[in-house]
A = this chain, B = another copy of it.
Amino acid sequence: MARTTGSHSEITGPRIREAALRLFARHGYAAVSMRQIATEVGVQAGALYNYTADKQSLLFSLMRGHMDELLAAHAALGQDGSPTARLERFTRFHISFHADRPQAVFISYMELRSLEPNNFQIIEALRRDYEDALESILRDGMAGGDFTIADPKIATLAVIAMLTGVNTWYRSAGRLSLEEVEQVYWDMVHRSVTE
């Protein structure tokens, strides 16, 4: 991605990303023009091209940034403890990380269709890295007798879908705190992989 240096672009870059995220989430990538993003930021359309080559690069950068953050934050959790402790950490982490970024999560799922093939491959590979991290926790637990799982690949996808689903209904003003929600999900996840 072309990026100019200096204070102007440093101020504008995050605002462009935030505006694009908001507009893509609201209307869908295909319906949003670079001109609309510029208007939302309050700059001329030309100023956007100092920051990003085109709309596809901007989408890719948002989706890649989201996956990079997810993988870095997950790696920072470490590998300490039993498979059960690691699975609990994964469960709570996944819920809280995703609850903090509803728009980025929405776009990451919905706009896979809008990525050009090369970009799609890269995002898919990052997504697989994340899935692999969970799958290896499950496999370690199977090997040690902590977990009983018929198909660890499917269990990985099932757990991730269950946890990401929190984003479709959780509201911070609702009857449960996010910590309470994490506890209920952890209990269900744990049971689903044990006999």
* Copies of this protein in the complex: 2
Give Cα A88 to B16, complex, Å.
Answer: 48
| Contact partners of A126 in chain B: CB under 8 A | none
Nearest neighbor of A189 in chain B, beta-carbon distance: B192
Docked pose: A191 CA to B192 CA in angstroms? 5
* Residue A30, interface by CB 8 Å: yes
Using Cβ atoms and an 8 Å threshold, which residues of chain B touch A113?
Answer: 25-26
Contact B184 A151 (CB under 8 A): yes
In the complex, chain B residues whose CB is within 8 Å of the CB of A176: 151, 154
In the complex, chain B residues whose CB is within 8 Å of the CB of A27: 28, 30-31
The total of chain A residues at the interface (CB under 8 A) is: 38
A173 interface contact, C-beta 8 A? no
A81-121 vs B, Cβ < 8 Å mask (1 yes, 0 no): 00000000000000000000000000001100100000000
Chain B min CB distance to A134 (Å): 13
A109 with B162: CB separation less than 8 A:
no
Task: List chain B residues, Cβ under 8 A from A183.
Answer: 150
